[in-house]
A and B are shown apart, each in its own frame.
Chain A
Amino acid sequence: MAASKEEMIEKLYECVVEMEDEDVVDVCNEYLEAGYSAYDGIMDGLVAGMNKASELYDEEEYFVTDVLLCSDALYAGLDVLRPKLEASDMDGDSKKVVIGVVEGDTHDIGKNLVKIMLETAGFEMYDLGRDVPLDAYVEKAKEVDADIVAMSTLMTTTMGGMRTVVEKLEEAGIRDRVKVMVGGSPISRKFADEIGAEGYSVNAVEAVKVAKELVGIE
């Protein structure tokens, strides 16, 4: 007998939490063949699993490596289910975030995790990658009419670039239209305040909360 929808969703959830990036593809295909909704599979299965992984990271049960592998499973699953989404499932007015690791730094694990978390939470992400020239943030923010510019760095030596981006947003005359959030190991609330960034989060999980607050969701 075929598994019920709830059982299948539970399996999708477990694949992400247990980092099964190969099994998840089979489970997704099986789920679609049974005729269940792609949207529910993504939200209640894959995304819920990723949220659980975030919680485990917060509780120091999971480490960066674990979250990385969970996100591999999430993406493998999304690749199968996403093309099957109905037009009505897509959230039309999702908020736009331009994200990147500032110039001089190529450490992008943290940035990638934040991107995944925000994407999972329904934000529309524009990823500039790593070692991003400071002007590129401003140009992209203008181009897509971004709601948030998110910057990260792991190195104390490149933190200064974040301040420059905030200044450049002002010069470009769009500072009042866009919120700035910053993160990364050497960054602190104090530093964020000093450079005039509205948002700061200690880790990728909290980044979602911060981003939602900044754009007035929930």
Chain B
Amino acid sequence: MHKDDQMTPMERLTGFLTGGEMDRLLAMPFICSMSGKAAGMTHRQKRATGRSEADCQIANYERFGHDIVITEYGLHTVGKALGTEMGDPEDAVPHIVHNVLQDLDKAEELDFERVLPQNSPDAQKHLECAHILHEELGEEVPGATLICGPFTAVASIMPTEVLLRAVRKRPEVVHYLLRQCTEVLKELHKAFIAEGQLIFFCEPIATGSIANPKEYLEFVKPYTIELMQNIHDNGGMVCYHICGDTKRILSYMVETGPDMISIDNRVPLAFAKEIVAPHMPLLGNVDPVEKMILGTPEDVEEAVKECIKVGYDCEHGYMVCTGCDLNGDVPLENLDAYMAAARKYGKMPVGPQNWEN
């Protein structure tokens, strides 16, 4: 347990979920792709094995004492299992070099069996990470697996531009791929839940900056409802995150039935609070670039305070989170400042006395 805390993250989360005691608000700067930094590993070293991925998370937890450790199944792993070619940079998140599906008429030739947990070496690696974190830290810190939603999974199979055109011109192919992705994601969710993981359900390609609300309703929402239901049927819990501007689809996101929603800094927290807070807990949304990467520790403290001032009285609870994942350029001092601010302004009982005078 971190020296400045009075409870472990697991005790705190239990308090949060049961309406019991908490020493402070839950706080989760999104420590995922940059997790090697605190452990002295490059991204390539971090992603090499389940053990190294877990060691990075453990090193971060030991320094910051934040409330979740993350396993990164990631956004491209479905496509990679099917044959999408990925880059292998030393110290950055691997990017897509060539999508496996370029010709829509070949969609049915893809072998989705290869994505299933037992058949995919990458899934095995991340399951091992989840297993280690659960074994070694599970009693103290909750673990979550970051995994793509169905629409983002399809974008890891074919270029996004092709996908967006197909949404209008070949909707039947898009639905076919969404169906296949939904089925394999169900199996993946089940496998990670069995390792004691919460699901961090990320759907960046469905952002309101790219697709319109009508397309969200037709291509994203139905499959998402099914997946949320499957997570619950398997005894799991899920946080739903879509990057970018989601103002126009936020109420639909609530209707898919997640346990909580996390928003990007492109959506004002007060706006999200009105739509999300009556139904479920809200997470957000310290600016990962302006504040966490480019800001000073003082800027970070101020940003965390501003978020808590808006979010602290959400009916179903609030967790102070960054608006998106952080990269390796984030100064570790800013993460220290983030957690110190969460401890100061989020101290229970949380209220204006924490930040006034």
Contacts and interface: CB of A to CB of B under 8 A. Distances in A.
B285 interface: no
A129 interface: no
A156 B324 CA distance: 10
Nearest to B96: A106
B98 to A, nearest CB: 9
Contact of B161 (A68, A159, A187): A68
Given A156-B324, A157-B93, A191-B294, A109 B289 contact: no
B161 A63 contact: no
Interface string B311-340: 000000000000011111100000000000
Nearest to B214: A63
Given A104-B89, A109-B161, A156 B209 contact: no
A131 B325 CA distance: 21
Contacts of A64: 164, 209-211
Contact of A160 (B210, B324, B329): B329
B160 A109 contact: yes
Interface in B3-17: none
A5 to B, nearest CB: 31
A204 to B, nearest CB: 12
Contact of B329 (A107, A131, A159, A187): A159
A155 B328 CA distance: 12
Interface residues of A, number: 29
B33 interface: yes
Contacts, number: 80
A156 B290 CA distance: 11
Nearest to B212: A63
A65 B289 contact: no
A68 B164 contact: yes
Contacts of B95: 104-106, 131, 155, 158
B217 interface: no
Interface in B253-308: 288-290, 293-294
Interface string B90-110: 001101110000000000000
Contacts of B288: 156, 186
Give the most central of B97, B160, B208: most A CB within 10 Å. B160
A69 interface: yes
Contacts of B294: 190-191, 194
Contacts of B167: 65
B87 interface: yes
B212 A65 contact: yes
Contacts of A4: none
Nearest to A101: B95
Given A68-B164, A191-B294, A194-B294, A156 B210 contact: no
Nearest to A160: B329
A104 B86 CA distance: 10
Contact of A106 (B97, B215, B243): B97
Given A65-B210, A185-B209, A107 B160 contact: yes
A188 interface: yes
A25 B89 CA distance: 43
Contacts of B164: 64-65, 68, 109
Interface in B83-139: 87, 89, 92-93, 95-97
Contact of A191 (B33, B161, B210, B289): B289
B92 A157 contact: yes
A155 B289 CA distance: 11
Interface string A146-162: 00000000011111100
A158 B92 contact: yes
A178 to B, nearest CB: 24
Interface string A192-209: 001000000000000000
A158 B93 CA distance: 9
Contacts of A194: 294
Contacts of A160: 329
A145 interface: no
Contact of A156 (B165, B208, B211, B325): B325
A186 B212 contact: no
A66 B161 CA distance: 11
A99 to B, nearest CB: 16
A69 B168 contact: yes
A72 interface: yes
Interface of A: 19, 63-66, 68-69, 72, 104-109, 112, 131, 155-160, 185-188, 190-191, 194
3 closest A-B pairs by CB: A63-B212, A157-B327, A65-B164
Given A63-B210, A65-B167, A185-B243, 19 more contacts: A64-B211, A65-B210, A65-B212, A68-B164, A68-B165, A104-B87, A104-B92, A105-B95, A106-B96, A107-B160, A108-B161, A109-B164, A131-B95, A155-B327, A156-B288, A156-B329, A188-B290, A190-B290, A191-B294
